[in-house]
Amino acid sequence: MSEQTKALLLDVGNSYIKHAQVTINEQVFEQPLDISRCNDMGQLAEQIKTSQRVIVAAVGQGQQVALLQSLCNESKVPLTLIKTQASAFGMRCAYRNFATLGVDRWLAILAGRRVSSTKAYCVIDLGTANTCDLVFANQHLGGWIAPGFSLMRDSLIKNTELVFANDEFPTDLTLGEQTVDCVNMGCAAAVNGFIFAAEQKIAQQDEDYCVIITGGGQDMIKKNAPKHYYFYENLVLFGLLEYLFH
């Protein structure tokens, strides 16, 4: 392929469409992704026209994907919609019914192998839901899905009398001295416990492991994070890079 051949990578989520245009060459995995976001697929029409390939990951979002297909057809640009596979690039999925593993988690698992310095690693995504996936020696071991920070806090307020909170997003874990702080810090503690439990599990495979954290909630973990924690803005787009040459 020419060094000027470009691909548009898309992560179509519930809130935003995250995207990055890359030049397809052997150095693409070493180059930082210039990630942008938008709310509507139509805003990407010009970038689609300047790309030779479009590669997309979408959990649901059928209308957005249909619009994307129409835009690609108009510009005669091939579109590849990535799905979770039983195995790919030497990585094996733990799910018997592999199609039910969200493609966002699958791509994060693939990306994790690129950024991990160890055979054993955890991929943690902190968002509306918190997910974790454990990997050892190119074998996905399985994972967990739990409520994210905001879901926990909102559920606690809605279903418990005389408990209230604010919209603050803690970036440090301390002890609360009033109800508002106790709720926020309790939910933050649950997020920290989620990660700690994942570490306990992966350590059973190999004591030499790393934890890769992504998602909008990562700021609450960053302060005083240990050296084996790595933080990434978007692992889904990074995982899509694997499909550039296939």
Asked if 220 contacts 195 with a C-beta cutoff of 8 angstroms, the reply is no
Amino acid in the structure at residue 161: E
Strand partners for 195: none
Nearest to 86 by CA among 99, 104, 73: 99
Respond yes or no: is residue 104 known to be catalytic: yes
How far apart CA 238 and CA 228 sit, in angstroms, is 20
Amino acid in the structure at residue 174: T
Options 104, 133, 167, 206, the catalytic residue:
104
How far apart CA 120 and CA 133 sit, in angstroms, is 11
For residue 149, what is the enclosing H or E element? helix 149-159
Question: Mind telling me the catalytic residues?
Answer: 104
